[in-house]
């Protein structure tokens, strides 16, 4: 059975996540800033519960949580510990309520940290900030029952083997709660499935196979071979990514995402697997629901 996933936000539904800017927070006295950040965290916990309710009601099996669910949590100047917030206990309670909802409705939640998370960066300060971000997301992941924190391999810096060795070395700096959730994804510029699979096999870090990225940056593996190999890296339900090119595969920039998914881009070899497929499409919940309908129609047509 395919579990389709919605990424972070909605196109049409009135479910919004609150945010703020570091500039705004920095202008405030610290107690006032913490009070505002506390209110935003509470609001985001409620928005997350609404998002999960929508997913449960509309057969969307997975929700990717925005990295700024606790706004500015790891910012170098405006960042904070949850214990500093006036509503800390209520914030945690509300997020844990989301976790109970997820478990009761057999949903799945996950994180995909922003691009500034680069574990193999050549700049020590970037590695340090990346680790802080992963630790923060793992804290929230524990509250809500998320089992994936997905990152990219980082840069090659002119030496892929060394870059991958740096990635592996820095894994040892992560806590157990990050490591048990951490996954790595092939990208469309640097690291292919062929590059990452040996790392996944050696470290136990699962591969989130992004088929769009693989089509943009191919290697020696076919989609079917990459799928088979990626599946073997998982000790829980595998999670993959799907998207379609904005201007078609022959367009000038096939890496850019379309509003919707072309059902023909959905690999045939995925259709009978028990996997989660996050739908990376700009039309958000509308795109997920459209793809779900088209997959059912394709199955029925095949059965006929």
pLDDT tens for each residue of 30-82: 999 999 999 999 999 999 999 999 999 999 999 999 999 999 999 999 999 99
How far is it, in rounded angstroms, from Cα 119 to Cα 167? Answer: 6
Q: Would the CA dihedral through 256, 259, 262, 266 be positive or negative? A: positive
Q: Is 110 in a helix, a strand, or coil?
A: strand
Number of independent structural domains in the chain = 1
pTM of the model: 0.96
Q: Model confidence over 155-211: pLDDT tens digits?
A: 999 999 999 999 999 999 999 999 999 999 999 999 999 999 999 999 999 999 999
CATH number at residue 262: 3.20.20.150
Asked if the structure places residue 225 within a domain, the reply is: yes
Tell me the two tokens of residue 177. 């709660």
Asked if the structure places residue 120 within a domain, the reply is: yes
DSSP letter at 189 equals: S
**Can you give the residue range of the structural domain that contains 257?**
3-13+61-77+107-302
Question: Percentage of the chain with pLDDT > 90?
Answer: 95
How far is it, in rounded angstroms, from Cα 76 to Cα 129? Answer: 8
């Amino acid at each position: 059975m395919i579990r389709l996933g919605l990424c972070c936000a909605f196109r049409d539904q009135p479910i919004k996540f609150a945010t703020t800017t570091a500039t705004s927070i920095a202008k405030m006295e610290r107690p006032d800033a913490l009070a505002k950040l506390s209110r935003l965290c509470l609001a985001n916990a409620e928005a997350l519960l609404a998002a999960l309710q929508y997913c449960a009601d509309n057969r969307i099996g997975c929700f990717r949580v925005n990295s700024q669910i606790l706004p500015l949590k790891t910012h170098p100047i405006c960042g904070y510990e949850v214990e500093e917030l006036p509503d800390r206990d209520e914030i945690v309670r509300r997020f844990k309520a989301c976790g109970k909802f997820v478990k009761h409705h057999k949903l799945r939640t996950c994180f995909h940290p922003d691009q500034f998370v680069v574990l193999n960066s050549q700049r020590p300060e970037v590695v340090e900030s990346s680790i802080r971000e992963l630790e923060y997301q793992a804290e929230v992941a524990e509250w809500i029952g998320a089992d994936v924190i997905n990152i990219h391999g980082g840069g090659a810096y002119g030496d892929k083997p060394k870059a991958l060795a740096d990635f592996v070395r820095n894994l040892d700096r992560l806590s157990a709660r990050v490591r048990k959730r951490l996954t790595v994804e092939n990208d469309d510029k640097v690291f292919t499935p062929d590059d990452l699979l040996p790392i996944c096999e050696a470290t136990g870090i699962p591969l989130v196979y992004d088929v769009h990225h693989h089509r943009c940056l191919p290697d020696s593996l076919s989609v079917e071979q990459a799928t088979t190999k990626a599946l073997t890296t998982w000790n829980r339900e595998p999670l993959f990514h799907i998207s379609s090119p904005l201007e078609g595969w022959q367009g000038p920039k096939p890496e850019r995402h379309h509003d919707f998914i072309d059902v023909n881009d959905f690999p045939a070899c995925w259709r009978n697997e028990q996997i989660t497929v996050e739908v990376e499409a700009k039309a958000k919940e509308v795109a997920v629901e459209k793809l779900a309908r088209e997959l059912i129609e394709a199955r029925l047509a095949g059965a006929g």
